[in-house]
Chain A
Amino acid sequence: MAGTNGRVRLDAMSEMMAPPPPTVAAAAGVIDARKTYGVGDATVNALDGVDVRFEPGKFTAIMGPSGSGKSTLLHCLAGLDSLSSGAVFIGETYLADLSDKELTELRRSQVGFVFQSFNLIPTLTARENIVLPLALGGQEGDAVWIDRVIDTVGLRDRLSHRPSELSGGQQQRVAVARALATRPTIIFADEPTGNLDSNSGTEILQFMRDAVDEFGQTIVMVTHDPYAASYADRAVFLADGNVVGDLASPTRDTIMDQMAALGH
């Protein structure tokens, strides 16, 4: 019983301590996010009080040098990692309140993922990979929507192939289709073009751009490539665990300027 009471109290506290609901509608965001690793002298502040919200229907790029905390931020936003303090929300849900099971179900239904590599399960066909999050939830999904997604990424003739039979670019397109298949609140992409040649990379970036423009999808992408970030509506710059810049409608030039200003 003590445990239950403790839990109730914690819930109540987090409600009191949680900031008021965002006034500007946001698909996801973090509030005063801190994340430390290690103890004593070896302590590293990967996130040092980050506040950032992501508007629905927008394509945001998170940029920064290695060790800036951009990957940690993405992992915490996606519920793959937890903050040391501060809050994360996706839609109207604060992630700190969720059990592992609820978090998993949230990722399954409200979050889409595109990683740099190893995005697909090797034993499943392209089609099975696309509908995997739906299948895990025991759902069929919206057949019309899935058809549209498949056509958008242009994979109709590759659906019964396994990942080993697809090129890197095709595999990444399957990954994007999978991320779109559940119509998630938000898609997180971690260097999605990092392992691709420039043509395939451009293709993937264009698909993500189209998903935002045509379907109103929200996408947050971590990248260190100014060219990739130029496809976004907004570029957030991180350094040493802090937000150090925020560009609207970034172009390659404005991004380069910003990076130069930050000392790179």
Chain B
Amino acid sequence: MTDETTHALALVPEDLPKAESFLKPHRIVLMLLFLALVVAVAVFMRWDWLPRYLPRLGSGILVSLAMLFSTAILGFLLAVPLGLVQVTGPWFLKAPARLFCTVIRGTPLLLQLWLLYYGLGSLFPQFPAIRHSFLWPYLREAWPYGLAALTLSFAAYEGEVMRGAFAGVPQGELEAARAYGMGRWTMFRRIWLPRAVHRALPTLNGETVLQLKSTPLVATITVIDVYAVISKVRQETYLTYEPLLLLALIYMCLTGILVVTFRYFENRIPTRGA
């Protein structure tokens, strides 16, 4: 996926409004209209269920965020070797890495999730060795499968990004590192990886927002994230729109916070010329 596509799919820091140009006459009118809409939604729709579910919503948000950050970190750790071997590895590493990326990127995440949960989940109990191992209490729960599926998916997309980033680091910089007598590992650690991550950072941020947008899928395998809590609300109160609107609002806030954080970090990294 190219930079521009990630930008088209996920909110990125440059989309945030600039303060100085934000307030214009027509915007004030639009905002008043929007405010009226919000007030109408708050007054005419039913929100009396909200206080009862607030604690559960909070823990649901925490689960969603935990899923997001753990899978993004684990996925990135997998993506670095995936990208690296595709640029410089021998063919017997390059081919499986490319195959992995193609297969994961070519099939829907929901299908992968269900394959892991229902497929592996139905397979594991048939092996006594697994059933008696220390992992079994975890494997009986749903979240390890969600974690695995999201991590693999993030790793595949990110591996492709890192491949481009590793390949895009100017050869001269690597030659300079070699000329200074750096070993391969030192060169990778000091020059190649930081430069590649720097190049990939905007795309990485976009992919992380995309990953946040993928996390509600784990609710389909009974992980109680914020989406699952809202589904529960919908079942118990027979309301259709109110919980979903709240859910959309929650995700917009989460995305907004994520994007603002990314802008902060992007601005802290010095770039030449800018």
A binds B: no
